[in-house]
Amino acid sequence: MMANDKKKRSLIEAFAYFCLLSSFLFVLNKTYNGQASVVEKNDAKKTIRHRTLVNRESDELEFVNEEQYIEYLSKKLTPQHLNTYPTTSKSGEENRTALQHHQFLHLHHMKTGGTSMNGLLQCAISRSRKTEKKEQIAYMNVQECSEERYRNCRDGADPKCRERINESAILSYCAPLMDLEKFGWMKNNSIDEGKQEEEALEDFSLPNSNPHAVTVLRHPVNRIWSMFRFRTKSCYSCTPLIDVYKLIDANQTENMTHSTTCITQLLNHQTRNLVSSQHEFDTLPDHELIEDALYNIKNYFTMIGLTEEMNDTAKMVGKVFPWMAETIPGSNLTCAMPHRNASPQNNRCGPNNTHWELPPHPDNETLAAIIAHNQLDMILYEQAVQQFHYQKVALDLDQAITE
């Protein structure tokens, strides 16, 4: 079969699968007695069909077909090296180099393989520090699951935390994109008023005005079931997930948990993290939320990965960011994608704090509840799969397409 025929068949199959998914979600919403948010069907179709190659007033790019879009991605995914500038160490040692601030951001959604990605990132940082350049690399990790610490940092009660984030070159960020502006990391927030943008782009002692960002997404059902297995007791007090959703629908979660993060993890969490609007998430209509999240996937992020495709995700990261490749010239240290943060062997939810053995997949009733409460994430994930496919083609990682 010719390559063009394979491409056409792939797109037809993807479109057919989306239509089937839309029909399933429509029927499920009518039958499931819950308070999950519902995407209006016309708006959802408009988002999927017309926002794939997104266009806003600030974007002049128009793509007639997928070949043009893949060509655009090929240019976007060219190798991105770290920018450095000469400096001296705190002890006065000369001939050192420091990394430009605001260069690389990893947006981490819990239970998507983000901890494994952070392991790869930290290995790459350690390796860079040991090279002949002896690079000074400012790295920061911030996560909303440490709720009080995160709020203090975000809202300014801990100014040193905000200062460390703003002065970091590499940031691992497990929190909503909408909060990122408060840490000074959103595009063009860091250029000094006395500098023209063109000059700032060439002066690596100034913060980068356009950070490179990566995120990894996972099928919502798999992610949420993994989250429930991971935090069965600490978040959900050993309550069956189907009953957790019933408590959420009845607004009666206070006896189970006082953590807002534990609850939002179960409700379109990946969409929530990817929305950059400064309006409250729950106040925006569904079609605006999914539109904003999809826009950011295709415009703010340099590339995205998939948990279900972690091997190819690691290869992709290594090609786009050579300093994160498994091996690099001048170093004997190998940085492979590790597997971290597995579910606990004893969740202490059984009799006498023994283990409550949970199946690897939810039962049908729980499955239906997860989907009903995560319709935006279902749409988001299907689009992420398509975007990941285009990235593989652009990077010549998809042999089935490129042969």
46 vs 294, more confident: 294
Separation of alpha carbons 226 and 208, rounded Å: 36
Separation of alpha carbons 331 and 328, rounded Å: 6
Separation of alpha carbons 153 and 173, rounded Å: 13
Q: State percent of the chain over pLDDT 90.
A: 61
* Structural contact between residues 142 and 150, judged by C-beta atoms closer than 8 angstroms: yes
- Tokens standing for residue 374: 């995560």
Residue 132 is predicted with a pLDDT of 56
Per-residue pLDDT of 366-377, as tens digits, reads: 999 999 999 999
Spatial CA neighbour of 216 closest among 147, 288, 116: 116
Q: What is the mean pLDDT of residues 115-140?
A: 86
Separation of alpha carbons 126 and 124, rounded Å: 5
Between β-strands 135-136 and 84-87, what pairing exists: parallel, antiparallel or unpaired? unpaired
Residue 87 is predicted with a pLDDT of 74
Residue 21, pLDDT above cutoff 70:
no
- Tokens standing for residue 287: 């079609």
Read off the pLDDT band of 355 (50, 70, 90). very high
Residue 192 is predicted with a pLDDT of 46
Residue 250, pLDDT above cutoff 90:
yes
pTM above 0.85, yes or no: no
Residue 197, pLDDT above cutoff 90:
no
Q: What is the mean pLDDT of residues 307-321?
A: 96
Q: State percent of the chain over pLDDT 70.
A: 75
DSSP element (H, E) containing 147? helix 147-155
Separation of alpha carbons 96 and 245, rounded Å: 54
Per-residue pLDDT of 260-274, as tens digits, reads: 999 999 999 999 999
Spatial CA neighbour of 281 closest among 213, 257, 290: 290
Residue 94 is predicted with a pLDDT of 64
Kindly report the backbone phi and psi dihedral angles of residue 213, in degrees, each rounded to the nearest multiple of 5, phi listed first.
Answer: -125, 145
DSSP secondary structure code for residue 274 in this structure = H
Helix (H, G, I), strand (E, B) or coil at 168: coil
Residue 265: count other Cβ atoms within 10 Å of its Cβ: 22
First-residue to last-residue Cα distance in the chain: 10
Q: What is the mean pLDDT of residues 375-388?
A: 97
Residue 204 is predicted with a pLDDT of 73
Spatial CA neighbour of 102 closest among 125, 83, 117: 83
* Structural contact between residues 108 and 171, judged by C-beta atoms closer than 8 angstroms: no
Separation of alpha carbons 353 and 366, rounded Å: 24
Distances (CA, A) of 312 to 3, 127, 309, 388: 21, 22, 6, 10
Read off the pLDDT band of 51 (50, 70, 90). very low
Q: What is the mean pLDDT of residues 182-203?
A: 57
* Structural contact between residues 403 and 3, judged by C-beta atoms closer than 8 angstroms: yes
Residue 221 is predicted with a pLDDT of 98
Give CA angle at 357 (353, 361), nearest 5°: 145
Per-residue pLDDT of 148-188, as tens digits, reads: 999 999 999 999 999 999 889 999 999 999 999 888 887 64
* Structural contact between residues 220 and 381, judged by C-beta atoms closer than 8 angstroms: yes
Q: What is the mean pLDDT of residues 63-86?
A: 89
Residue 16 is predicted with a pLDDT of 43
* DSSP H stretches of helix in 158-254: 159-166, 197-202, 220-230, 241-249
SS3 of the chain: helix, strand, coil, percent, to 5 = 50, 10, 45
Amino acid in the structure at residue 55: N
Residue 310 is predicted with a pLDDT of 94
Separation of alpha carbons 262 and 131, rounded Å: 41
Per-residue pLDDT of 102-124, as tens digits, reads: 999 999 999 999 999 999 999 99
